[in-house]
A and B are shown apart, each in its own frame.
Chain A
Amino acid sequence: MFEFLFKYPPAVYSRGHYVLAGPWPWWVLVALVLIAAVGLYWNARRRWTLMSNLRAAAIWGLQTALIALLLLLLWRPAISVATLRPQQNIVAVLLDSSRSMAIADEDGHSRFDAASRLLKDGLIDSLGRRFQMRLYRFGDDAHRVDTAHLYNPPDSPVTRIARSLQDIAAESASLPFGAVVLLSDGAENAGGIDFDTIQRLRQTRIPVHTVGFGKEKLSRDIEVEDFSVPQRTLAGSRIEARIALRQSGLTGETARVTIRDGDNVLAAQNVNLTSEAIAVPLIFNAGAAGALNLIARVDPLPGEENTANNALARVVNVSAHKPRILYVEGEPRWEYKFMRRAADDDPQIELVSMLRTTPNKIYRQGVRDQSELADGFPTKPEELFAYDGLIIGSVEASWFTPAQQDMIREFAGRRGGGVLFLGGRFGLSEGGWGATPVAEMLPVRLPAAGATFQRVYSNTELAPAGMDSALCRLDDDPQKNVERWKKMPEIANWQLVGDPKPGAALLAEIIPPGHRKSPLLVTEPYGRGRTAVLATGGMWRWQMRSDHTDKTLPTFWRQMLRWLSNDTPGTVVAATPRQVLQDEDRLPLRVEVRDKNYQPLGSAVVQAHFVGPDGLSETLRLQPAGSEAGVYTADWSVPKAGAYLAEVTASVNGAEVGRDVLTFRRNDGVAENFRTTQNRDLLEKLSQQTGGRYYNARDARHLADEISYSEAGVTSREMLDLWDLPVVLLLALGLRAAEWLLRRKWGVV
């Protein structure tokens, strides 16, 4: 219909430039239209006594539009468009030969069969009549084939559209590519088309026309879309995992989600499938040091179309590192004792404490030797930054020098540690912290000092954000955890700390009798680290008012101590975006190196030593990343499937600065099991961004006609007349007919 009315395909109108091809200048046209409008207005004025102003204006408008249209046609409107010269351009036809194309969801046939049929039944012939053709199969990359091999069954374990298009872009440097036709289900395994690839294609000006195959939604399926866990944690810590599920056709049903390490179920939950996308938070214990090979799985549901996408793997490096946390307390109080007891019972944590027993005396516990903290709170960054976490108890800000206050701020900001502030008689507002640089790092806006410390028996409860927080998890069952917080004994002292800042997480609240709730526990990321406020020194009543077998308080403190230190980086931190490579062989490695003051170190020699399956051993030197000081990067080609360990060392002038260990896996033959529906979004965006168009299998037969209009390759510019479009004639007749009908209706013929 479009081409009947407009004579040319839509591509002409979207890519061409509009011109007036007549011999006279455009302003003459404008002038004549204005003269005609005025003349018609004068004529209409004479008749206005016969009808209302509105009706006369409508008649005048229709007459003017018709005259303007006819005058425009005299100026010969046309469209200038670049067209590929016949047989002088190459069209690359890329056929997706990954295993997901074997899924039979195209009216009982596989996607690959449907694509083959489209090519065989005319598309190749029609393209061949106009262009030279190069045929490619693509999966991991694009490789050229002849017609005899184009239709071999799909066998590639992965789909890498971006990499395949880059291959074509590279060839276009020496060949006149006019367009790319890409037949695929869009099941890209690299997560999308990267910006560099799009930029490269835009530079070559080659439009990518995409033809999509496969259902856009399965009738009954649930997929583990993502499984996020920290890459590393301390032994014995609780791990917060988040499993992203996507389902279709299963709304209202219940699915069982588990996280396993081998056969050992670490966490499980039944999930009601209330929407298409669901995030399931699960918390479990990391256990002993070593590599955790985790599998997040959804038990298959009856009639599910694809069960191979029900599980995802991740690796977590459980570290034996024993973090040291410094606790500064300004007065003897019971919380100190119970926190120390919790830490003493935890073999993974070293709590070093300094307690001000009198204005002139400090009692130290947990120190390595008598020299540690002998002169009081550290005065040099490298001394303070040797700790992994910091707790500031009931102690005034003025007890610290301004330089020490800055160091406390930098402890989180630059060093990346966790800092906890406790409520108390001399803490927070009462301690004057609100007027120091440290106030900036607090997750709350401290109120002015004055009676913020209360001695009122009050209950506590979890805030919504605390329900999914590992820090507040006292019971593995989320619902029981909420109830347990409510049933814990009252605390008898707490402090008003003001409202949480934007971006902070309010995890737990105090419920004073007869008053509005007040924040108890608030956390916030700050710089490279994190900060928290626990607005009480009275949690100890949880221990003294509960049976001695109840380990809630020590559990809470151990989790708090781990939260403070778990993510604290060392001087060398190795990271990779993905610790499980699904049918990928490229491991991007990023290493951040800092000195003892945690300033970026740009002059280090950084090496990664890889140990892998079958005795593989290889060393790689990383290069400084130009954009970030102290960051070193490299790509390593992972030779085969299996588990790997990378030990990264950094040294300056032969002296080691630090080291880190990274574990990762390469799993082959799994990527194509995921995102098996047609990724139409990706195909549409790819074609839009490159100047092409998305087609489904039915209307792809027009592709050969539309593909001719392209700026790439060997082109000539054509001038296509628009004056003789059928739609113009219809418009002229329509205007005249509308005037006649209105006149008849209003009786002013």
Chain B
Amino acid sequence: MIDLNTDEIFNWPWVYAVEVGHWDLTDAQVKMMREYFERGGFLMVDDFHGTYEWQVFVASMNRIFPDRPIVEIGDADPIFHVLYDLGKRVQVPGLQYVYSGKLYEKDGIVPHWRGIYDDKGRLMVTMCFNQDDGDAWEHADNPQYPEQFTSQAYRLGINYIIYSMTH
């Protein structure tokens, strides 16, 4: 766990954040996050769903990068091919899928793989929206959780890490 009220984040060039549909960054944290990205840091956000949580996430993200758009990452982007070819992907649900049989939560029916690029065309922030790759990693050993979601989640996470170590 990294405390954004310290400068610990600068020791970690790759950071994973979950449930960012509930975050509310202070001005100091916004400034620190922007500095983090400008130094070369990489953020993967995950496990946030539906219109409301997106709006909450974007509200803080826009304060970090008011000048950079959030875009869909194209299938041909190197981040989907750096180790595993993930041109075709499926929505990865959280553990709730085991109980509800639903792939989505709230009104987040359509999965998105979005990101923010820097001036050189390198991804700094990636968003697994309407998905929960973290649950797929966490419950990889749960026989009730489908293996195909775990496999993709692992491959996606590894690709994101290797991408951030090479771009």
- Residues on A close to B: CB < 8 A? 332-334, 336-338, 340-341, 344, 355, 357-358, 361, 363, 365, 540-541, 543-548
Interface residues on B, range: 10 to 19
Tell me if B167 counts as interface (CB < 8 A to partner A): yes
By a CB distance below 8 angstroms, the chain B residues around A334 are: 13, 165
Q: Mark B132-167, 1 if CB is under 8 A from A, else 0.
A: 000000000000000000000000000001101111
Given A357-B83, A363-B83, CB of A547 within 8 Å of CB of B35: yes
Tell me if B40 counts as interface (CB < 8 A to partner A): yes
Tell me if B30 counts as interface (CB < 8 A to partner A): no
Contact A544 B13 (CB under 8 A): yes
By a CB distance below 8 angstroms, the chain B residues around A358 are: 83
Contact B38 A540 (CB under 8 A): no
Partner of A543, one of B40, B164, B166: B40
A548 — nearest CB in chain B belongs to which residue? B38
Contact B35 A337 (CB under 8 A): no
Contact B13 A332 (CB under 8 A): no
Partner of B167, one of A337, A546, A548: A337
By a CB distance below 8 angstroms, the chain B residues around A541 are: 11
Tell me if B21 counts as interface (CB < 8 A to partner A): no
The distance in angstroms between the C-alpha atoms of A545 and B35, with both chains bound, is 11
Q: Mark B49-91, 1 if CB is under 8 A from A, else 0.
A: 0000000000000000000000000000000001100000000
7 inter-chain pairs at a CB distance below 8 angstroms, sorted by A residue, are A332-B161, A332-B166, A337-B166, A337-B167, A355-B166, A361-B83, A540-B13
Tell me if B93 counts as interface (CB < 8 A to partner A): no
A331 — nearest CB in chain B belongs to which residue? B165
Contact B39 A543 (CB under 8 A): yes
By a CB distance below 8 angstroms, the chain A residues around B94 are: none
Tell me if B10 counts as interface (CB < 8 A to partner A): yes
Tell me if B115 counts as interface (CB < 8 A to partner A): no
B7 — nearest CB in chain A belongs to which residue? A545
Partner of B41, one of A340, A361, A544, A546: A544
By a CB distance below 8 angstroms, the chain A residues around B11 are: 541, 544-545
Contact B39 A340 (CB under 8 A): no
Contact B41 A363 (CB under 8 A): no
Sample of 20 more A-B contacts, CB < 8 Å, known A337-B40, A337-B167, A544-B13: A332-B165, A334-B13, A334-B165, A336-B166, A337-B13, A338-B40, A340-B166, A344-B120, A357-B82, A361-B83, A363-B82, A363-B83, A363-B166, A541-B11, A543-B39, A544-B11, A544-B41, A546-B39, A547-B39, A548-B35
Given A337-B40, A341-B40, A357-B82, CB of A545 within 8 Å of CB of B10: yes
- Residues on B close to A: CB < 8 A? 10-11, 13, 35, 38-41, 82-83, 120, 161-162, 164-167
By a CB distance below 8 angstroms, the chain B residues around A540 are: 13, 40
B12 — nearest CB in chain A belongs to which residue? A544
Partner of B39, one of A332, A333, A544: A544
User: Which residue among B11, B35, B40, B165 has the maximum number of chain A CB atoms within 10 Å of its CB?
Assistant: B165
Secondary structure call for the A interface: mixed
The distance in angstroms between the C-alpha atoms of A340 and B164, with both chains bound, is 12
Q: How far is the CB of B14 from chain A (nearest CB, A)?
A: 9
Given A358-B83, A545-B10, CB of A337 within 8 Å of CB of B164: yes
The distance in angstroms between the C-alpha atoms of A543 and B41, with both chains bound, is 10
The distance in angstroms between the C-alpha atoms of A545 and B36, with both chains bound, is 9
By a CB distance below 8 angstroms, the chain A residues around B162 are: 332, 357, 363
Contact B120 A365 (CB under 8 A): no
The distance in angstroms between the C-alpha atoms of A442 and B165, with both chains bound, is 28
Q: How far is the CB of A396 from chain B (nearest CB, A)?
A: 20
Contact B39 A337 (CB under 8 A): no
By a CB distance below 8 angstroms, the chain B residues around A332 are: 161-162, 165-166
By a CB distance below 8 angstroms, the chain A residues around B82 are: 357, 363
By a CB distance below 8 angstroms, the chain B residues around A544 are: 10-11, 13, 39-41
By a CB distance below 8 angstroms, the chain A residues around B13 are: 334, 337, 540, 544
Q: How far is the CB of A276 from chain B (nearest CB, A)?
A: 50
Contact B165 A548 (CB under 8 A): no
Q: How far is the CB of A346 from chain B (nearest CB, A)?
A: 13
Q: How far is the CB of A374 from chain B (nearest CB, A)?
A: 16
The distance in angstroms between the C-alpha atoms of A333 and B165, with both chains bound, is 6
User: Which residue among A344, A361, A363 has the maximum number of chain B CB atoms within 10 Å of its CB?
Assistant: A363
By a CB distance below 8 angstroms, the chain A residues around B161 are: 332
Contact A365 B166 (CB under 8 A): yes
The distance in angstroms between the C-alpha atoms of A540 and B166, with both chains bound, is 13
The distance in angstroms between the C-alpha atoms of A166 and B82, with both chains bound, is 72
User: Which residue among B10, B35, B120 has the maximum number of chain A CB atoms within 10 Å of its CB?
Assistant: B10
Q: How far is the CB of A158 from chain B (nearest CB, A)?
A: 56
The distance in angstroms between the C-alpha atoms of A355 and B167, with both chains bound, is 12
Q: How far is the CB of A97 from chain B (nearest CB, A)?
A: 67
Query: Which 10 residue pairs spanning A and B have beta carbons closest together?
Result: A548-B38, A332-B165, A548-B39, A544-B10, A357-B83, A337-B165, A332-B162, A334-B13, A544-B39, A545-B10
Q: How far is the CB of A286 from chain B (nearest CB, A)?
A: 25
Q: How far is the CB of B119 from chain A (nearest CB, A)?
A: 11
The distance in angstroms between the C-alpha atoms of A363 and B164, with both chains bound, is 13
The distance in angstroms between the C-alpha atoms of A357 and B40, with both chains bound, is 21
Contact B120 A336 (CB under 8 A): no
By a CB distance below 8 angstroms, the chain A residues around B41 are: 544
By a CB distance below 8 angstroms, the chain A residues around B166 are: 332, 336-337, 340, 355, 363, 365
The distance in angstroms between the C-alpha atoms of A363 and B82, with both chains bound, is 7
The distance in angstroms between the C-alpha atoms of A543 and B39, with both chains bound, is 6
Q: How far is the CB of B84 from chain A (nearest CB, A)?
A: 10
B35 — nearest CB in chain A belongs to which residue? A548
By a CB distance below 8 angstroms, the chain A residues around B120 are: 344
By a CB distance below 8 angstroms, the chain B residues around A545 are: 10-11
Q: How far is the CB of A345 from chain B (nearest CB, A)?
A: 8
The distance in angstroms between the C-alpha atoms of A544 and B35, with both chains bound, is 9
The distance in angstroms between the C-alpha atoms of A338 and B165, with both chains bound, is 8
The distance in angstroms between the C-alpha atoms of A546 and B82, with both chains bound, is 28
The distance in angstroms between the C-alpha atoms of A385 and B165, with both chains bound, is 28
Q: How far is the CB of A332 from chain B (nearest CB, A)?
A: 4
By a CB distance below 8 angstroms, the chain B residues around A355 are: 166
Contact B39 A336 (CB under 8 A): no
The distance in angstroms between the C-alpha atoms of A190 and B35, with both chains bound, is 60
Q: How far is the CB of B159 from chain A (nearest CB, A)?
A: 10
Q: How far is the CB of B62 from chain A (nearest CB, A)?
A: 20
A365 — nearest CB in chain B belongs to which residue? B166
The distance in angstroms between the C-alpha atoms of A541 and B12, with both chains bound, is 9
By a CB distance below 8 angstroms, the chain A residues around B10 are: 544-545
The distance in angstroms between the C-alpha atoms of A546 and B10, with both chains bound, is 9
By a CB distance below 8 angstroms, the chain A residues around B40 are: 337-338, 341, 540, 543-544
By a CB distance below 8 angstroms, the chain B residues around A548 are: 35, 38-39
The distance in angstroms between the C-alpha atoms of A365 and B167, with both chains bound, is 10
The distance in angstroms between the C-alpha atoms of A358 and B164, with both chains bound, is 16
User: Which residue among B11, B38, B39 has the maximum number of chain A CB atoms within 10 Å of its CB?
Assistant: B39
